[in-house]
């Protein structure tokens, strides 16, 4: 793949992801994506054979970027810092009401899973990756009940996202971190 093709694909994905996040999937047209990406509709179809394929790739990209960001957050921690709590710090920043439009994976399942079942698979993968991250971090820190603890922390993580959208506030992430701290002490 040439650099130009990669750049165009990246621009299409970024534009589409932003539009799918801000609007209902049905309200976003291929023409709108192409126009905002600065390309023709034909060029978009040369990169993605359909809007559905593009939506799936947007979700995969979001998951990849989230995982990379969380890897970075954990790798940059000071010695002795609790990586599990650091994830909630990142979550608070990510839930900034000026930019947060809700969990893309939940939104996609709500809007598309009936007509595009692969959406549910990607969303489930995203949710399982958070849980697995907590399991891995709990094991590294020598904690007991790692599977139960990971399930509880993942539930706090997911619940904070839902409330943040409804409340238009990052406050739920702070509350989730406070509860996570109590779980980690138990």
The pLDDT score that the predictor gives to residue 1 is 65
Both 68 and 129 in a single domain?
yes
CATH number for 64: 1.10.357.10
Confidence (pTM): 0.89
User: Residue 144: which domain range?
Assistant: 59-185
pLDDT tens sequence across 50-64: 999 999 999 999 999
For residue 54, being part of any structural domain is answered with: no
Both 140 and 158 in a single domain?
yes
Both 122 and 175 in a single domain?
yes
Both 23 and 96 in a single domain?
no
Distance CA 152, CA 25 (A): 31
Both 102 and 131 in a single domain?
yes
């Amino acid at each position: 793949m040439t650099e130009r093709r990669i750049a165009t694909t990246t621009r299409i994905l970024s534009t589409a992801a932003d539009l799918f996040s801000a609007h209902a999937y049905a309200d976003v047209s291929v023409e709108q994506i192409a126009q905002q990406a600065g390309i023709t509709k034909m060029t978009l179809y040369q990169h993605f054979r359909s809007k559905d394929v593009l939506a799936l790739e947007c979700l995969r990209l979001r998951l990849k970027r989230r995982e990379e960001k969380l890897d970075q957050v954990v790798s940059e921690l000071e010695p002795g810092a609790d990586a599990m709590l650091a994830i909630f710090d990142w979550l608070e920043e990510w839930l900034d009401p000026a930019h947060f439009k809700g969990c893309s994976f939940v939104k996609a399942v709500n809007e598309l899973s009936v007509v595009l079942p692969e959406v549910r698979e990607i969303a489930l993968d995203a949710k399982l990756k958070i849980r697995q991250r907590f399991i891995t971090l709990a094991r590294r820190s020598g904690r007991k009940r790692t599977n139960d603890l990971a399930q509880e922390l993942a539930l706090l993580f997911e619940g904070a996202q839902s409330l943040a959208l409804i409340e238009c506030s990052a406050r739920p992430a702070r509350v989730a971190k406070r509860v996570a701290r109590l779980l980690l002490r138990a």
